[in-house]
């Protein structure tokens, strides 16, 4: 709202109105507003949930200090969602297709997580919302996001098109951005594309349509679109569930999510900036600069929530928060064409997910082989394995956070290491 207000006031030379046209200023304001909202709303919500006795029901996992968590207020993801949406509504260009998709993602996954927490707490059903229904909700989101990227005319990438000298005069009148190149000229055209970025390669773009290279693209181009939508759906579901699994000890999911988001902020900034994208020789995505403001609000929300969620946690985010933050990270990565880097900058989510799958696989395999199920880890997800080994959860979070930061640095370095 403030974005549009000050954009209107610029025509009257209103002092300071031009500041809101700068992404850097609005991003900084988004962080501040998120932090202030989280700090103020967090304390009030914790008090309200305590009065209403909306507390966590802890299953006995025979972990040290686990019983002390019983009764701790949950559904704290409401704070995170509010701290994201408030600055976004105030500071973002709400007509931007990327912002629309991210607002939808936040609200949709927030609703799914809220229903799950509501069933656990108020219906006294420890299993919460059935996994099938959660999966259907995540798949629906993936289809919406994938279809929008594939079909929306507002989601494009800028590509170079070489033209002969005799055509320059005509193009100069139509395309404002040209550059002379040895007798030829280069113009930049915004086109629909299924291209994404492949890390560590010099020619680092991969077109999903190449998966069906054996088909006539003019007749069967829609097949590549369907494959792309399925891949996007898988990514969103996997990362959302990865964040959900990671949210097992105080401060782990919120801290590592903030680091992943900071990585995406760097990518969003350089991908949405003409000068930096040309200098780094990366894909320029028009209108993607607005994602920097959203990502800043996300970082402010997760860091602010960590104030209350760090050990010993005064509130848990619940599925309301964990499903939402995982989904947002996945959608951000897909929108800026960095989804192939998710295993790196979301390495913590990946390892947590894999530890659960390996534990189940090994248990079933040993039953068939030995007639008795054995465990690969003392307990899964991985953070519980270290708890079983006697490591304090605050140390686990600190070490996981260090690993997350290293992975984030490696991810950013892929801009130069090819």
What tens digit of pLDDT does each residue of 316-344 get?
999 999 999 999 999 999 999 999 999 99
Whether 222 has a pLDDT exceeding 60, the answer reads yes
Q: How far apart are CA 310 and CA 307, in angstroms?
A: 6
Going along 89-175, which residue ranges are E strands? Answer: 157-163
Residue 55 DSSP one-character state:
B
| The pLDDT of residue 278 | 87
- The predicted model gives 270-286 an average pLDDT of 91
- The residues, any chain, with a CB within 8 Å of residue 118's CB and separated by 6 or more, are 75
The total of other beta-carbon atoms located within 10 Å of residue 290's CB is 25
Q: How far out from the chain centre does Cα 44 lie?
A: 27
Q: Name the strands in the sheet holding 184-191, side by side, starting at the edge strand that comes first in the sequence.
A: 157-163, 184-191, 178-181
pLDDT in tens, 83-129: 999 999 999 999 999 999 999 999 999 999 999 999 988 888 888 89
pTM: 0.90
Q: How far apart are CA 111 and CA 128, in angstroms?
A: 13
Tell me how long the chain is: 418
Evaluate whether 362 touches 375 at the Cβ level (below 8 Å): yes
Which of 357, 359, 327, 343 lies closest to 410, judged by CA?
A: 343
Q: How far apart are CA 280 and CA 265, in angstroms?
A: 16
pLDDT in tens, 372-416: 889 999 998 999 999 999 999 999 999 999 999 999 999 999 998
- The residues, any chain, with a CB within 8 Å of residue 281's CB and separated by 6 or more, are none
Angle at 239 between CA 227 and CA 348, to 5 degrees: 135
**Residue located via tokens 């991210």:** 102
- How would you class 112 by CB atoms within 10 Å of its CB: exposed for 0-12, middle for 13-18, buried for 19 or more? buried
Q: How far apart are CA 289 and CA 195, in angstroms?
A: 18
The domain ranges of the chain are 23-156+199-342, 157-191
Evaluate whether 309 touches 42 at the Cβ level (below 8 Å): no
φ and ψ at 201, to 5 degrees?
Answer: -115, 145
- The predicted model gives 278-299 an average pLDDT of 93
pLDDT in tens, 366-380: 998 888 889 999 998
Which of 336, 264, 346, 298 lies closest to 98, judged by CA?
A: 336
Evaluate whether 353 touches 241 at the Cβ level (below 8 Å): yes
- How would you class 68 by CB atoms within 10 Å of its CB: exposed for 0-12, middle for 13-18, buried for 19 or more? exposed
Q: How far apart are CA 346 and CA 333, in angstroms?
A: 10
| The pLDDT of residue 329 | 97
By three-state DSSP, how is residue 84 classified? Answer: helix
The total of other beta-carbon atoms located within 10 Å of residue 309's CB is 26
φ and ψ at 161, to 5 degrees?
Answer: -130, 120
Evaluate whether 345 touches 408 at the Cβ level (below 8 Å): yes
| The pLDDT of residue 53 | 67
């Amino acid at each position: 709202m403030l974005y549009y207000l000050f954009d209107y006031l610029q025509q009257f030379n209103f002092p300071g109105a031009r500041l809101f046209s700068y992404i850097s200023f609005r991003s900084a304001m988004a962080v501040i507003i998120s932090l202030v909202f989280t700090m103020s709303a967090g304390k009030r919500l914790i008090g309200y949930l305590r009065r209403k006795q909306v507390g966590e029901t802890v299953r006995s996992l025979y972990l040290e200090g686990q019983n002390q968590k019983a009764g701790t207020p949950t559904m704290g993801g409401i704070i995170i969602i509010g701290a994201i949406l408030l600055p976004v509504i105030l500071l973002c260009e709400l007509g931007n297709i990327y912002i629309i998709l991210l607002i939808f993602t936040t609200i949709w996954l927030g609703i799914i997580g809220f229903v799950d927490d509501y069933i656990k707490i108020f219906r006294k059903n420890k299993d919460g919302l059935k996994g099938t229904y959660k999966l259907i909700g995540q798949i629906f989101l993936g289809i919406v996001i994938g279809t929008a990227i594939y079909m929306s005319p507002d989601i494009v990438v800028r590509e170079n098109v070489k033209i002969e000298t005799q055509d320059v005069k005509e193009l100069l009148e139509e395309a404002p951005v040209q550059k002379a190149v040895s007798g030829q000229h280069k113009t930049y055209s915004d086109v629909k594309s299924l291209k994404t970025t492949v890390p560590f390669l010099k020619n680092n773009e991969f077109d999903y349509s190449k998966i069906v290279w054996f088909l006539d693209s003019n007749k069967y181009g829609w097949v590549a679109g369907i494959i792309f939508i399925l891949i996007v759906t898988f990514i969103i579901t996997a990362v959302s569930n990865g964040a959900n699994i990671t949210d097992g000890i105080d401060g782990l999911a919120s801290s590592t999510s903030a680091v992943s988001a900071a990585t995406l902020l760097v990518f969003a900034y350089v991908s949405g900036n003409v000068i930096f994208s040309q200098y780094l020789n990366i894909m320029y995505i028009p209108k993607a600069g607005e994602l920097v403001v959203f990502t800043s609000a996300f970082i402010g929300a997760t860091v602010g929530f960590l104030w209350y969620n760090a050990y010993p946690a005064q509130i848990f985010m619940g599925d309301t928060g964990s499903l939402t933050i995982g989904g947002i990270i996945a959608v951000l990565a897909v929108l800026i064409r960095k989804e192939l880097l998710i295993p790196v900058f979301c390495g913590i989510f990946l390892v947590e997910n894999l530890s659960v799958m390996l534990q189940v696989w090994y248990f079933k395999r040993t039953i068939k082989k030995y007639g008795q199920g054995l465990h690969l880890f003392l307990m899964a997800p991985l953070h519980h394995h270290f708890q079983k080994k006697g490591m304090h959860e605050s140390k686990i979070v600190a070490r996981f956070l260090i690993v997350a930061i290293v992975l984030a640095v490696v991810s950013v370095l892929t801009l130069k290491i090819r």
